[in-house]
Every structure is written in structure tokens, then in C-alpha cells.
Amino acid sequence: MSHTLLVTSSPRGTDSLSTRFATEIAEGIQTRSGGPLTVRDLTANPPPHITPAYIQGRITSPEDRTPEQVEAVKVAQDLVDELKLADVMVLGSGMINFGPPSQLKAWFDHVTWPRVTFGYGETGPKGLLTGKKVYLVTAAGGVFSEGAWAPFDFQTNYLLHLLGFIGLTDVEVVRVEGTVLGPDAAKAAVANTETAIKALLAKAA
């Protein structure tokens, strides 16, 4: 029985394909594992952008933190604890101006924590959150997995880097793309993603 964490971040609400398919994966995995599912909706409850209170608070001894630092560090600690508890994470991101939504960047700014989720050794940085499976669902109106626009995908590659930096290297990517290239292209993109998820869940069973 595994614990699944679903993190969604698209501001598109019910129109979000990244949220729709990430939720489908998370619920499918939970049904198969019989374990709990925790949902972190970063649009409904966006983490604050990091402030001096957080930057200083996380390197200050707990007994010496100001009230503002205590609160800032608690936000980060809650998010990290949630992530540590999960055996499987499903992360949904819809492209905004070639990158992930700002609330997802803020989430990563909180959970990317020196000596907590990553450290430095003789060979350089080392992620500390190991042994977890991640499903990354990214959505984009254009096609960024290949072709002329591939160099401008600052969403999927960036998120893979951040995940790997904190030790989450077992990542399976599901792309939903080309949805603004006309009705037929949008239908095909959704159908292709549905097929991919069915295969993914069958393999995860």
C-alpha cells in the first residue's frame, strides 16, 4: 500500500488538461494501491513567494527565529513533510509563457532546501528524496517535444532538472501538446494522452 501525492498547479481550473490527466493518474494509482491520496492544489492554495524571512529562517536555529521566520519555515516544512511521506508523486503543470506556472515555481522554492532535500558532497550536489516514483504531466498549446519549438520548452526540462536535483530521478513524463493547433489536433492530443495513461496505469498495476 503506497501513499500518493497529487500536486496540481494550472490556473485554468476545470479547463486544465494537466490537472485532468494528473488527477486521473493519481486516482488510478490510488485505486490500485489501496493507499491514501493527498491532493495539493497550488492554485486554490498557492504557496507564498519566498521572502527574507524564509531565506534567513531556514539557516537560523529554531530557538533564534523571529515569529515571521517561524511562520515562513513552517510553510516550507509542511510541504517537505508532505513530499517525504509520499511513495508516489503525480505532478501536473500547464505551460505559461514557455515555463511552469509561478505557483509551482514557488512550491519548488520551498521544497528545494539545503541539507533537507539536497546536500553537497565531494562530487557535488546530491538529492536526498530518493526511492520515489514521479509522474510528470505537462500540457502545452504548441508542440514542444520535437521540432522547431523544442528549444523553447522551459517547462518539462526545467521541472525534470528540479526534480532530479532533490533526488526524484525515477520520472515518467506524460505530455499533452498541440491543443491550439485546431479542433482535430486538440482531439488527437487528448486521445493520445488517454491512451498513454491507460498503458501507464496498466503497467503500474
- Quote the pLDDT of residue 52: 95
As a whole number, mean pLDDT of residues 169-189 equals 93
Does pLDDT of 60 surpass 80?
yes
Q: Does 200 count as an annotated binding residue?
A: no
> What is the spatial distance between Cα 49 and Cα 141, in angstroms, rounded to a whole number?
26
Structural domain boundaries in the chain:
4-51+82-204
Helices (H), the chain: 17-33, 52-57, 67-85, 102-111, 156-165, 183-204
Does pLDDT of 1 surpass 80?
no
**Number of separate helices (H) and strands (E) present in the chain:** 6, 7
> What is the spatial distance between Cα 123 and Cα 130, in angstroms, rounded to a whole number?
17
Instruction: Identify the three-state secondary structure at position 99.
Output: strand
Does pLDDT of 184 surpass 80?
yes
Does pLDDT of 13 surpass 90?
no
Q: What mean pLDDT, rounded, does the chain reach?
A: 94
Identify the band that residue 186 occupies on the pLDDT scale cut at 50, 70 and 90.
very high
As a whole number, mean pLDDT of residues 167-182 equals 94
pLDDT tens track for 118-156 = 999 888 899 999 999 999 999 999 999 999 999 999 999
Q: Does 18 count as an annotated binding residue?
A: yes
Does pLDDT of 171 surpass 70?
yes
Q: What is the number of other CB atoms lying within 10 angstroms of the CB of residue 173?
A: 14
Pairwise pLDDT comparison (2 vs 80), residue with the higher score: 80
The predicted model scores a pTM of: 0.94
CATH superfamily membership of 4-51+82-204:
Flavodoxin domain (3.40.50.360)
Name which of 200, 186, 53, 72 is nearest 133 in CA terms. Answer: 200
CB 101 within 8 A of CB 9: yes
Name which of 136, 130, 127, 131 is nearest 172 in CA terms. Answer: 136
Q: Does 10 count as an annotated binding residue?
A: yes
pLDDT tens track for 95-114 = 999 999 999 999 999 999 99
CB 176 within 8 A of CB 17: yes
